[in-house]
Amino acid sequence: MLDLKPSKLAGCFEMQPKVFDDERGRFVKVFHEQAFTAQGLQTQFSEEYYSVSFRNVIRGLHFQLPPMDHVKVVYCVEGEVMDAVVDLRVGSPTFGQYALFELSATKANSIYIPKGMAHGFCVLSEQAIMVYKVSTVYSPTHDAGVLWNSVGIPWPTVDPVLSARDQGFPTLEQFESPFFYE
């Protein structure tokens, strides 16, 4: 019912749900509590939201600090993005490393991102709509990030469109992580 593909970052998975295509179109079951529970994944989510972004937009690398840190499930319902997840957990064998994923409406895949990881993406199509399901509510005082180009991610654009906020984050090297690998 839910195909989990581990990434090189412990606890971070690419998920492929069952997709039903027929002459009417497509039906995708993104979340199923029993399937998540069977895999040992978080099933309680407090907020869900989406973003609309255009080609060459990079959003990220975002996360929330404890105690408002959260598990995040992300997927693309329109277009295509290159998604990046960075391990920020002190003591992790992959601390400071990243995993890349291609998310698209066509593939209907998603990413399960555990606490202690930063997330960002670059839009490859003309437009992309990304959906985020998170286990804690947004908290402006706990909202944080690391600089998008400080991790060595090979972003697929030489001229990214970035927010002032995303350009002002500390580098990975400057960031003092409150996250610990368990």
CATH number of the domain where residue 150 is located:
2.60.120.10
pLDDT at residue 167, as a whole number = 98
Say if 179 falls within a structural domain. no
pLDDT at residue 51, as a whole number = 98
pLDDT of 1 strictly over 80: no
| Distant-in-sequence, close-in-space partners of 120: CB < 8 Å, separation ≥ 6 | 58, 59, 60, 61, 62, 83, 84, 86, 148, 153
Write down the mean pLDDT value for the chain.
97
- Span 66-78, pLDDT tens digits: 999 999 999 999 9
Find the farthest-apart pair of alpha carbons in the chain and give their distance in angstroms, rounded: 53
Per 3-state DSSP, the chain is made up of helix, strand and coil in percentages (nearest 5) of: 5, 45, 50
Say if 178 falls within a structural domain. no
Say if 176 falls within a structural domain. no
Q: CB–CB of 127/161 below 8 Å?
A: no
- Span 116-153, pLDDT tens digits: 999 999 999 999 999 999 999 999 999 999 999 999 99
Say if 175 falls within a structural domain. no
Say if 173 falls within a structural domain. no
pLDDT at residue 40, as a whole number = 94
Say if 64 falls within a structural domain. yes
pLDDT at residue 95, as a whole number = 98
Confidence class for position 4, pLDDT limits 50, 70, 90:
very high
pLDDT of 11 strictly over 90: yes
pLDDT at residue 130, as a whole number = 98
Chain mean position to CA 76: 10
The C-alpha atoms of residue 149 and residue 61 are separated, in whole angstroms, by 9
Burial class (CB in 10 A: 0-12, 13-18, 19+), 109: buried
103 is in which domain, residue-wise?
2-167
Which residues are annotated as catalytic?
62, 132
pTM: 0.96
Say if 162 falls within a structural domain. yes
Residue in 124, 134, 155 with CA at minimum distance from that of residue 62: 134
pLDDT of 108 strictly over 90: yes
User: Torsions phi, psi of 164, nearest 5?
Assistant: -60, -40
Q: How many domains does the chain have?
A: 1
pLDDT at residue 182, as a whole number = 84
- Count of H-run helices and E-run strands, the chain: 2, 13
Question: Which amino acid, residue 49?
Answer: Y
C-alpha angle 160-166-169 in degrees, rounded to nearest 5: 130
pLDDT at residue 2, as a whole number = 81
